[in-house]
Amino acid sequence: MPASQTLIVGAGGAVGKRLTAALAARGSRVIAADRMPQLPDSITSIASVCVGGVDVRDQEALEHADADTTVWNLAAPLSVETALDPAVAEAVTMGGMSKVLTAMREVGARRICFTDSIGSFGAEAPRSGATARWLTENPTQDPGSDYGRQKRGCRELMAEFASAAGGDPRFAVLPGVLHSEAIWGNGTTEYALDALLAASKGEQYECPVEPDVTLPMIFVDDLMRGLLALQDAEESALHEPENGYAMPGLSFSAEELFEEIRRHVPDFVPTTKLDDNMAKFARLWPDTLSTTEPLRDLGYAPQVAVPKMVETCLEAHAYRKMRAEAFFRAIDADRNGLLDKTEISHFMVTHLIKGREERGWLIQREDLVEEMASKVITEMDLNGDSLVSSEELFEWCRRNTFNGLVEQFVQERA
Ligand SMILES: NC(=O)c1ccc[n+]([C@@H]2O[C@H](COP(=O)([O-])OP(=O)(O)OC[C@H]3O[C@@H](n4cnc5c(N)ncnc54)[C@H](O)[C@@H]3O)[C@@H](O)[C@H]2O)c1
């Protein structure tokens, strides 16, 4: 039986957002925790409890857990970020896992789920059909990165939690996660997401990995089915060592991806400019993951192939772009194709502040408009001309909303 509630640490990230949504959609109680001060609207509207501004290394992040809580620990920098600052990454990844397991012991919670990565496979690993079992049976192999070493450290902490404290740890070895969200972290397989975004904007793209290197990936809809199956499985159904399962999805090279993108954007012709870390990791990691174990024990098999993934991502970017352009036109009163501070202030007063009054909001802070408009312009204006173009607005809207900005301002200055 699934536990009565799920606590997700790192809920604000690419995987966490979707996991929160998938759990909430089936009626589970979700406690969403993240280091980011303000969790995204898409989470606050569906999670039972939201705890922003907490670090996985602080006990506070776990104070909502009880004996019936399943914990997902997703808080970790991705591969490239880890390579740039391994010490901080280790403190978050392994230090955080240690704190999570200690807190779980204190309240008697047993089930911890963790997202390992293809970054755990080093040069000795099989190129095709890679399994989580291979990782547990080759504990001394060199993953070739701090990212992989830190994931191994987490597996060891979880194995100790099982043997010494009767815990019920499970882990999924994730390939590159593909999704149609607007933002993502700094990893290697994220090159595919960058390429899809560049294609949708009609921009040039420099590919940071060798175009003929195949990497395993997974579309997030498949990933959610796999992760929920892993979380829900009876302990007796899990036959793999340390309850570890690779999560297969789809595999492709950059060349194959670009070919598929060109079916939608014929002019998309990327160049290659290798990034040292990304190119190294791409060569190191396997091409495909085994489908046998997750199908046998979890009933999971991937369904989304490259054409569907590309179409879904491009459509989502096009939709966001269309909305941003309509939004831009609504602010651009003089129709000169650029937004200035007067236009932004006017829009805020008319649509955000006045709107709030009409909806019965008690706090009316028209006096903050001047300051808010300056902040918006500073954040959006990428070329320093104190004006905002349609592209700059689109870029800002990937991470922010006007409503969120007003809300934050009103709260801070209340
Ligand atoms: N995205 C992928 O392709 C991929 C592939 C393999 C494995 N994984 C693993 O899955 C997990 C989640 O990945 P993601 O893509 O969602 O990453 P992400 O970077 O999008 O999200 C990570 C989240 O963790 C939060 N976080 C970071 N440090 C924290 C801290 N100290 N305390 C609390 N929260 C903190 C961040 O604010 C962010 O919201 C990670 O462990 C990652 O290694 C991801």
Question: For the segment 129-140, what is each residue's pLDDT rounded down to a tens digit?
Answer: 999 999 999 999
Pick the most confident of 78-82, 170-174, 324-328.
170-174
Q: Is residue 5 part of a domain?
A: no
Same domain, 180 and 129: yes
Structure tokens at 105: 């012991």
Instruction: For the chain, give the percent of residues with pLDDT over 90.
Output: 76
Same domain, 300 and 202: yes
- pLDDT given at position 400: 85
Pick the most confident of 74-83, 260-269, 363-372.
260-269
Ligand 1 touching residue 187 (CB < 6 A): yes
Same domain, 223 and 106: yes
329 contacts: CB under 8 Å, gap ≥ 6:
none
Q: What are 92-126's pLDDT values in tens digits?
A: 999 999 999 999 999 999 999 999 999 999 999 99
CATH code of the domain covering residue 387: 1.10.238.10
Which phi and psi (to 5°) does residue 55 adopt? Answer: -95, 140
Q: Is residue 26 part of a domain?
A: no
DSSP string, 40-65: -HHHHTT-SEEE-S--TTSGGGGTT-
User: How far does residue 77's CA lie from ligand 1's centre (Å)?
Assistant: 6
**pLDDT confidence tier of residue 144, bands split at 50, 70 and 90:** very high
Nearest Cα neighbor of 152 from 139, 167, 163 is 139
Cα separation, 358 vs 369, whole angstroms: 17
Ligand 1 touching residue 208 (CB < 6 A): no
Q: Is residue 43 part of a domain?
A: no
287: pLDDT strictly greater than 70 = yes
**pLDDT confidence tier of residue 364, bands split at 50, 70 and 90:** low
* Ligand 1 atom showing the smallest separation from residue 176 Cα: 3
Structure tokens at 57: 């290394």
What integer is the mean pLDDT of 42-69?
88
241 and 296 in contact (C-beta within 8 Å)? no
b (16+ CB within 10 A) / e for 237-248: ebebebbbbbbb
b (16+ CB within 10 A) / e for 256-278: ebbebbeebbeebebeeeebebb
Dihedral sign of CA atoms 401, 405, 411, 414 in order: negative
- pLDDT given at position 341: 92
Q: What are 14-23's pLDDT values in tens digits?
A: 899 999 999 9
69: pLDDT strictly greater than 80 = yes
**pLDDT confidence tier of residue 362, bands split at 50, 70 and 90:** very low
- pLDDT given at position 173: 98
Q: What are 375-402's pLDDT values in tens digits?
A: 889 999 999 899 999 999 999 998 888 8
Strand 69-73 to 49-51 pairing: unpaired
- pLDDT given at position 57: 87
11 contacts: CB under 8 Å, gap ≥ 6:
17, 19, 20, 30, 32, 33, 34, 39, 43, 47, 50, 74
**pLDDT confidence tier of residue 353, bands split at 50, 70 and 90:** low
Helix (H) or strand (E) holding 194: helix 191-201
363: pLDDT strictly greater than 80 = no
409: pLDDT strictly greater than 80 = no
* Ligand 1 atom showing the smallest separation from residue 10 Cα: 24
The protein residue whose alpha carbon is closest to atom 18 in ligand 1 is: 13
70 and 114 in contact (C-beta within 8 Å)? no
CATH code of the domain covering residue 188: 3.40.50.720
411 contacts: CB under 8 Å, gap ≥ 6:
none
Helix (H) or strand (E) holding 272: strand 271-272
DSSP code of residue 295: I
Same domain, 113 and 251: yes
Same domain, 264 and 359: no
- pLDDT given at position 283: 95
- pLDDT given at position 152: 97
Choosing from 269, 288, 314, the residue where a domain stops is 314
Choosing from 314, 344, 374, the residue where a domain stops is 314
Mutate to test the pocket of ligand 1, among 7, 8, 15 (most ligand atoms within 8 A of CB): 15
- pLDDT given at position 1: 47
Same domain, 266 and 207: yes
Structure tokens at 414: 């209340």
Same domain, 111 and 236: yes
Same domain, 138 and 226: yes
Ligand 1 touching residue 224 (CB < 6 A): no
Ligand 1 touching residue 79 (CB < 6 A): no
**pLDDT confidence tier of residue 357, bands split at 50, 70 and 90:** low
Ligand 1 touching residue 62 (CB < 6 A): no
Q: Is residue 321 part of a domain?
A: no
- pLDDT given at position 251: 98
Quote the number of domains for the chain.
2
Helix (H) or strand (E) holding 226: helix 220-232
b (16+ CB within 10 A) / e for 334-372: eeeeebbeebbbebbeeebbeebeeeeeeeebeebbeeb
Q: Which residue has the higher pLDDT, 60 or 49?
A: 49
Choosing from 280, 314, 348, the residue where a domain stops is 314
Q: Is residue 133 part of a domain?
A: yes
User: How far does residue 29's CA lie from ligand 1's centre (Å)?
Assistant: 21
Strand 250-253 to 214-219 pairing: antiparallel
277: pLDDT strictly greater than 80 = yes
101 and 61 in contact (C-beta within 8 Å)? no
Same domain, 134 and 245: yes
Mean pLDDT across the chain:
92
Q: Which residue has the higher pLDDT, 157 or 384?
A: 157
User: How far does residue 171's CA lie from ligand 1's centre (Å)?
Assistant: 15
* Ligand 1 atom showing the smallest separation from residue 17 Cα: 16
Q: Is residue 55 part of a domain?
A: no
Same domain, 306 and 359: no
Q: What are 240-263's pLDDT values in tens digits?
A: 999 999 999 999 999 999 999 999
User: How far does residue 384's CA lie from ligand 1's centre (Å)?
Assistant: 32
Q: Is residue 117 part of a domain?
A: yes
Neighbours of 88 (CB within 10 A): 13
Q: Which domain holds residue 361?
A: 332-413
Cα separation, 12 vs 18, whole angstroms: 9
Same domain, 236 and 345: no
Q: What are 84-101's pLDDT values in tens digits?
A: 888 889 999 999 999 999
Same domain, 350 and 295: no
44: pLDDT strictly greater than 50 = yes
Q: Is residue 37 part of a domain?
A: no
